[in-house]
Chains A and B, each alone.
Chain A
Amino acid sequence: MNTTATAPAALQRSNWKKLAGNFLVRHIMVVVMLLIVGFFAYRSARFATPDNLTNILIAAAPFALIALGQTLVILTGGIDLSVGSVMAVSAMAAAWTAKNAGDNLLLPLVAAVAAGLFAGSINGFIVSQLGVPPFITTLGMLTLASGFAYVIGDGAPINGLPASFGLFANTQVLGLTLPVVLMIVAILGLAFVMKRTNYGLRVYAIGGNRLAAEIAGVRSRRILFSVYAISGLLAGLSGLMLASRVITGAPNLGQGYELDAIAAVVIGGASLMGGRGTVWGTAIGLLLIQTINNGLDLLLVPAYWQNVIKGVIIVAAVGVDVWAARRGRR
């Protein structure tokens, strides 16, 4: 046996395979995305118009913020089920403030951000300091925040807000609405943070192996606290934008959004066990879901059927991803 001579060659070959596999794993979702876009463009003349594509981005924006927060939480191996309710309570807090503070724009903004950050911080404190499992902590917060959203409006939506309240969602910057700009900035910013900063590396580290990270000097409790706080903060902003779009505070706003956010992260290739996943993946995942929503609307598919189709596509997309990953590993 001539192991010394064949070993490096074999190693190289398997590395090539791995590289090819990694490439496939990383880009399979883009392929799926292109297929879906191609299908809708073929079936609907309106789909591929600039107007419609802008619509997709506008619909994606509030949803993008919570999906990004969710990405951080899932990277640590946790989950944040409360984001939908936190959106609602933040929107109600902002609407109530707007109603009582007149034309002031800063106060509703502060109210929404503070409500989101506060709810997220409570999640973070309970998970990181008390060690309660994230699923249970945020499930509790889901119910609690939703309850508060109704308390603020006394069981009803808050209407009759000053027109200026609509500026958050409808101001145009560089030809795009403010939420879309915010989404793009958030994606780019978070992608940079996760890839290029100490903080990002530490989030990946505690998700990959918390004990090993602690031994290497990572203060895991602080990091854990921070991801839930950030998730809450982004949910607060997201709630504000959604409320601003219709100039109303609705206590049932954002309901069920947490599941779409989790779906987006998972479609993006993140592992619910933590340590694996990227911001880019989440961005692709959320665009995929929004594209499906939009395309099915254009094709006039009835709403209930849309849910059925979406469910199938989500599982199929992740199935393809898992399959590709297994192929890549071989």
Chain B
Amino acid sequence: MSTVRSDDSNQVVPMLECSGITMSFGGIPVLRGITFSLEPGTVTALAGENGAGKSTLMKIASGQYRPIDGSVQVRGQDLVSGNTQAAYELGVAIVPQELASIPEMMVYENLFIGREVKTRLGTLDRAAMVKAAKGYLKEFGLDTDPKTRMRELPVGIRQIIEIIKATHRGARVLLLDEPTSAIAEREVARLATIVRSLRDQGVAILFTTHKMEEIRAMADRVVVLRDGTLVSDTPLADISDDGIVTAMIGRELDQLFPERPDAGNDVVLEVKDLVITVGATPINITVRKGEILGLAGLVGAGRTELIECIYGIRKPHSGTVTLSGSVLKAGSPQDSIARNLAIVPEDRKGAGAILSMSILDNATLPRIAAFSRFGVLSRRKQRSAISEVMKSMRLKSSGLDQHLENLSGGNQQKVVFGRWLTGQVDALLLDEPTRGVDVGARSEIYRIITELSSAGMAVVMASSDMPEILSLSHRALIMRELGVVGELDREQLDSPDVQDTIFRLASGLRAEPLKDTTP
């Protein structure tokens, strides 16, 4: 492990210094003794897989969380933990993953919120603010009208406006949490330009990512977290891509993912000429018994939409879905459930779990008819079936009557998953099955997925997590612009340059022709 600082170089006072940061949630350690520092005029990538502890570390560095142990210093001054205002005054600004702008207000209003320019009469000097805002935007290469409403702008622009807001208030340390997770390709390039120009002005920048291209495009140095431990802190020039990936995933890749049993031959799920919306390419998919089909692609490629169309939450423009020989009624989740199709949606809190209800009630809902007679529930039937399933999921709870809002993300996901398993499931649709799930629960979810597929279930799994696609699926489809643009079989998934291939397909750069793109 090496650091950029060496003792004989000119001593630079670090902008931000974290020493021995330790953190845990509900007794589960998330960060273990993290020490690193940010120098002025540098860009550091904080890399690591989902659940490695990146966001938690960001929140500690910006004063939002109080660590159990360790300290944060900004330009030699102690940061009072748990006090965002103090961090802000010391010049630390964070641009969170979920942007904090006010969508109904105009761009210049967002920029000046809390430090509005006033006229001598004490009223708002809108003209002055608009003019100043225009200047700020131009500095960052944006010709957006400052009088545009925030919600009308794409996420990428909104993010840049957040960055402008932070730096024009004198931020010397800029923390960007997953800045590229929701923005389009060309916006990433613009973001990179802006990050570099801020670096040249002496700002210390730390951004989280788990994507290799972004590290290469923006960072001078890369700090890698794995399972809450700092495993590498290296100047970018001294480490190879493989080195970063190995540091991120470690040798745990083999342990994290269980062995993959062979798929069967009978087709269980068939999607025929499905067009998501007018103008999209028709999609044809077959999934066999016991097969795990991965769906890869960038944000907005249509993975979630495809899964919603198959399940019936969304009505496709045209096309059919056939499950075990019978055609599903479009736009009818009830019909899908009755024909043994199950789904674990992407947005757990918004679409999966009902947080105000108990584990028992959540798990009862999809198969409610099996637990009732003439509309009256049998508590005994509910309890015996559900407690058995939850035991097999290794759910950690104080009992089936515990409300979901009191469970961790991983355990909520186990409930959203396990509620289907009280009955027969022929095909299972998973959308980002491990998003926001800690590493321990992830490996259990992988184990469950593999067990279910080996028991004969056909699985479709959309994921942004590359190792998940590469290690779990028998076959993977790559989506772009609401269509399928490529298919990779197991052999191709094992080839060393597969990540590059998937990225090219997903982003539309098809420099290398693919062997076989049609099913």
B356 near A208: Cβ-Cβ < 8 Å = yes
A205 near B361: Cβ-Cβ < 8 Å = yes
Bound CA–CA A7/B364 (angstroms): 29
Pick the residue among A211, A217, A275 that contacts B350 (CB under 8 A): A211
B352 within 8 A of partner (CB): yes
Contact of A15 with B375 at beta-carbon distance under 8 Å, contacts A216-B366, A217-B366 already known: no
Q: Chain A residues with Cβ under 8 A from B337's Cβ?
A: 216-217
Pick the residue among A3, A198, A216 that contacts B24 (CB under 8 A): A3
A196 near B377: Cβ-Cβ < 8 Å = yes
Contact of A197 with B376 at beta-carbon distance under 8 Å, contacts A18-B406, A215-B351 already known: yes
Contact of A204 with B357 at beta-carbon distance under 8 Å, contacts A196-B377, A197-B372, A211-B351 already known: yes
Closest Cβ of chain A to B122, distance in Å, is 35
The 0/1 profile, CB within 8 Å of B marked 1, for residues 208-226 of chain A is 1101111111110000000
Range class of the B interface residue count: 20 to 34
B334 near A212: Cβ-Cβ < 8 Å = no
Q: Chain B residues with Cβ under 8 A from A199's Cβ?
A: 375
Bound CA–CA A213/B419 (angstroms): 13
B365 near A275: Cβ-Cβ < 8 Å = no
Q: Chain B residues with Cβ under 8 A from A48's Cβ?
A: none
B519 within 8 A of partner (CB): no
A209 near B376: Cβ-Cβ < 8 Å = no
A188 within 8 A of partner (CB): no
Q: Chain B residues with Cβ under 8 A from A276's Cβ?
A: 356
Report the number of A-B residue pairs with Cβ-Cβ less than 8 Å.
Answer: 92
B364 near A208: Cβ-Cβ < 8 Å = no
B356 near A201: Cβ-Cβ < 8 Å = no
B267 within 8 A of partner (CB): no
B188 within 8 A of partner (CB): no
Bound CA–CA A211/B365 (angstroms): 13
The 0/1 profile, CB within 8 Å of A marked 1, for residues 401-414 of chain B is 00000100000000
A6 near B27: Cβ-Cβ < 8 Å = yes
The 0/1 profile, CB within 8 Å of A marked 1, for residues 370-385 of chain B is 0010011101000000
Bound CA–CA A219/B368 (angstroms): 13
Q: Chain A residues with Cβ under 8 A from B351's Cβ?
A: 209, 211-212, 215
Bound CA–CA A204/B375 (angstroms): 15
Interface residues of B in 267-306 (CB under 8 A from A): none
Pick the residue among B28, B334, B368, B406 that contacts A201 (CB under 8 A): B368
Closest B-chain residue to A1, C-beta based? B29
A275 near B27: Cβ-Cβ < 8 Å = no
Contact of A10 with B27 at beta-carbon distance under 8 Å, contacts A212-B354, A217-B337, A218-B365 already known: yes
Interface of A is mostly: helix
Closest Cβ of chain A to B428, distance in Å, is 14
Closest A-chain residue to B371, C-beta based? A198
B398 within 8 A of partner (CB): yes
- Which of the listed residues A6, A208, A213, A276 has the most CB atoms from chain B within 10 Å of its own CB? A208
B333 near A201: Cβ-Cβ < 8 Å = no
Bound CA–CA A7/B408 (angstroms): 14
Closest A-chain residue to B363, C-beta based? A216
A11 within 8 A of partner (CB): yes
Q: Chain B residues with Cβ under 8 A from A219's Cβ?
A: 334
Bound CA–CA A209/B404 (angstroms): 12
A interface size (C-beta, 8 A)? 30
Closest Cβ of chain A to B414, distance in Å, is 16
Closest B-chain residue to A275, C-beta based? B356
Closest Cβ of chain B to A47, distance in Å, is 38
B184 within 8 A of partner (CB): no
Bound CA–CA A207/B29 (angstroms): 35
Bound CA–CA A217/B336 (angstroms): 9
Closest Cβ of chain B to A187, distance in Å, is 18
Q: Chain A residues with Cβ under 8 A from B357's Cβ?
A: 204-205, 208, 275
Closest Cβ of chain B to A278, distance in Å, is 12
A208 near B368: Cβ-Cβ < 8 Å = no
B355 within 8 A of partner (CB): yes
Pick the residue among A11, A197, A208, A214 that contacts B333 (CB under 8 A): A214
Closest Cβ of chain A to B165, distance in Å, is 31
B361 near A212: Cβ-Cβ < 8 Å = no
B354 near A215: Cβ-Cβ < 8 Å = no
Q: Chain B residues with Cβ under 8 A from A208's Cβ?
A: 354-357
The 0/1 profile, CB within 8 Å of B marked 1, for residues 48-72 of chain A is 0000000000000000000000000
B80 within 8 A of partner (CB): no
B375 near A197: Cβ-Cβ < 8 Å = yes
B353 within 8 A of partner (CB): yes
B354 near A198: Cβ-Cβ < 8 Å = no
Q: Chain A residues with Cβ under 8 A from B366's Cβ?
A: 216-217
Closest B-chain residue to A3, C-beta based? B27
Bound CA–CA A207/B26 (angstroms): 29
The 0/1 profile, CB within 8 Å of B marked 1, for residues 186-200 of chain A is 000000000011110
Bound CA–CA A213/B350 (angstroms): 10
B361 near A201: Cβ-Cβ < 8 Å = yes
Pick the residue among A197, A205, A212, A214 that contacts B377 (CB under 8 A): A197
Q: Chain B residues with Cβ under 8 A from A10's Cβ?
A: 27
B94 within 8 A of partner (CB): no
Q: Chain A residues with Cβ under 8 A from B355's Cβ?
A: 208-209
The 0/1 profile, CB within 8 Å of B marked 1, for residues 283-305 of chain A is 00000000000000000000000
Bound CA–CA A201/B334 (angstroms): 16
Bound CA–CA A219/B365 (angstroms): 12
B27 near A196: Cβ-Cβ < 8 Å = no
Closest A-chain residue to B419, C-beta based? A216
B398 near A201: Cβ-Cβ < 8 Å = no
Closest Cβ of chain B to A326, distance in Å, is 15
The 0/1 profile, CB within 8 Å of A marked 1, for residues 81-100 of chain B is 00000000000000000000
Q: Chain A residues with Cβ under 8 A from B354's Cβ?
A: 204-205, 208-209, 212-213, 275
Closest Cβ of chain B to A168, distance in Å, is 30
- Which of the listed residues A11, A199, A212 has the most CB atoms from chain B within 10 Å of its own CB? A212
Closest Cβ of chain A to B195, distance in Å, is 36
Q: Chain B residues with Cβ under 8 A from A275's Cβ?
A: 354, 356-357
Interface residues of B in 4-61 (CB under 8 A from A): 24, 26-29
Bound CA–CA A199/B377 (angstroms): 10
Bound CA–CA A214/B364 (angstroms): 14
B63 within 8 A of partner (CB): no
Contact of A201 with B364 at beta-carbon distance under 8 Å, contacts A209-B355, A214-B333, A217-B334 already known: yes
The 0/1 profile, CB within 8 Å of A marked 1, for residues 480-513 of chain B is 0000000000000000000000000000000000
Q: Chain B residues with Cβ under 8 A from A214's Cβ?
A: 313, 333
Bound CA–CA A213/B357 (angstroms): 11
The 0/1 profile, CB within 8 Å of B marked 1, for residues 18-48 of chain A is 1000000000000000000000000000000
27 contacts between A and B (CB under 8 A): A3-B27, A6-B27, A7-B27, A10-B27, A11-B27, A11-B398, A197-B372, A198-B369, A198-B376, A199-B375, A201-B377, A204-B357, A204-B361, A209-B353, A209-B354, A212-B350, A212-B354, A214-B313, A214-B333, A215-B345, A215-B351, A216-B337, A217-B333, A217-B365, A217-B368, A275-B354, A275-B357
Q: Which 6 A-B pairs have the closest CB atoms?
A: A7-B27, A208-B354, A275-B356, A216-B365, A208-B356, A209-B354
Extra pairs beyond A197-B375, A205-B354, A214-B333 (10, CB < 8 Å): A11-B26, A211-B350, A211-B351, A213-B354, A213-B365, A215-B351, A215-B352, A216-B333, A216-B337, A216-B365
Which residues of A are at the interface with B, using a C-beta cutoff of 8 A?
1, 3, 6-7, 10-11, 15, 18, 196-199, 201-202, 204-205, 207-209, 211-219, 275-276
Which residues of B are at the interface with A, using a C-beta cutoff of 8 A?
24, 26-29, 311, 313, 333-334, 337, 343, 345, 350-357, 361, 364-366, 368-369, 372, 375-377, 379, 398, 406, 419
